[in-house]
């Protein structure tokens, strides 16, 4: 009887060990799958981060280009204003006549109603 009981306990232990081994194999496979999923997520995050970095870089470049263009336009306008002031001072001093001034003629054309409309249309077309 004792032998049967020991055999029965032995078989129960083997069955329990086999069951636990199968569970361990399943858990190991699940861990492996989860690890692969985690690796995939890390790759996806890396590509998302690189895309975001590229977009941020492009935005910075566009902002810098806009700033450079704005500074160029401001500088050009300042240069034009300086030339106009110098020309007006020459006219005021009597060095030249207002009708002979190239800058004054340009300003007259600029403020001509048809010229203003054309400039506004061109301005709107650029943006």
pLDDT in tens, 41-93: 988 888 888 889 999 999 999 999 888 888 888 898 899 889 888 888 888 88
Residue 23 lies in a domain: yes
User: Residue 115 falls within a domain, yes or no?
Assistant: no
Domain-located, residue 123? no
Number of domains in the chain: 1
**Residue 85 belongs to domain spanning:** 2-96
Residue 28 lies in a domain: yes
Within-domain flag for 126: no
Does some domain include residue 20?
A: yes
Task: List the Cα angle 116/119/120 in 5-degree steps.
Answer: 85
pTM score, whole prediction: 0.50
- Classify residue 92: in a domain, yes or no: yes
User: What pLDDT digit, counting tens, does each position of 79-94 carry?
Assistant: 988 988 888 888 888 8
Encoded tokens for 35: 């690890």
Contacts of 91 (CB under 8 A, 6+ apart): 97, 98, 101, 104
Distance CA 68, CA 56 (A): 18
| HSE-up (13 A, CA, CB side) for residue 101 | 22
31 inside domain: yes
């Amino acid at each position: 009887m004792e032998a049967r009981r020991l055999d029965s306990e032995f078989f129960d232990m083997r069955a329990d060990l086999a069951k636990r081994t199968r569970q361990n194999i399943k858990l190991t496979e699940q861990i492996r799958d989860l690890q692969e999923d985690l690796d995939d997520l890390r790759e996806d995050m890396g590509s998302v981060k690189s895309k975001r970095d590229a977009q941020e870089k492009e935005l910075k470049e566009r902002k810098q280009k806009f700033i450079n263009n704005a500074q160029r336009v401001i500088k050009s306008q300042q240069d034009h204003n300086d030339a106009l002031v110098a020309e007006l001072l020459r006219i005021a001093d009597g060095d030249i006549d207002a009708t002979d001034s190239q800058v004054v003629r340009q300003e007259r054309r600029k403020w001509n109603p048809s010229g203003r409309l054309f400039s506004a249309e061109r301005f709107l077309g650029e943006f």
